[in-house]
């Protein structure tokens, strides 16, 4: 076999197509769950009316656990762009809350995706 004809060993594939060990995938899922719980509590206790209308649907590694995609859904009649803007401005405070609730050297970067409630 020549140099170029070797295939990389096929390890487990994560949600984004990357090769991650099962242990890493479990740790990432645990981190995402902890961040989801923390953000849900912080938003529910916030005095900001926009945050009270937001629901954290899921948190996913994007592409890994150093950067997390937070999918948020807002109530009917609430402007998703306004909520996205408010969440983006609040990232430093939100990351601080996350840092106090997880045991990691570095707090992940947050990226928000805000969706309106789908009509039934």
Mean pLDDT of the chain: 85
Yes or no: say if 83 and 53 are a contact pair by the CB < 8 Å rule.
Answer: yes
- What does pTM read for this prediction? 0.80
End-to-end CA distance of the chain: 58
- Any idea where the domains of the chain sit in the sequence? 17-116
The pLDDT tens digits for 74-83 are 988 999 999 9
Structurally, at CATH architecture level, domain 17-116 sits in 2-Layer Sandwich (3.30)
d(CA 50, CA 47) in angstroms, rounded, equals: 9
Note the helical H segments in 1-45: 22-44
The pLDDT tens digits for 76-116 are 899 999 999 999 999 999 999 999 998 888 999 999 999 99
**Structure confidence at residue 94 (pLDDT):** 96
Pairing of strands 67-74, 109-116: parallel
């Amino acid at each position: 076999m020549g140099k170029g004809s070797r295939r990389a060993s096929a390890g487990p594939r994560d949600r984004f197509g990357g090769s991650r060990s099962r242990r890493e995938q479990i740790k990432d899922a645990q981190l995402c769950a902890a961040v989801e719980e923390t953000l849900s509590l912080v938003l529910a206790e916030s005095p900001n009316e926009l945050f009270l209308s937001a629901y954290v649907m899921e948190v996913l590694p994007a592409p890994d656990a150093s950067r997390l995609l937070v999918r948020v859904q807002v109530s009917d009649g609430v402007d998703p762009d306004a909520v996205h803007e408010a969440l983006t401005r609040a990232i430093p405070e939100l990351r601080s809350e996350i840092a106090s609730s997880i045991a990691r050297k570095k707090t992940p970067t947050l990226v928000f995706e805000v969706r309106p409630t789908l009509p039934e």
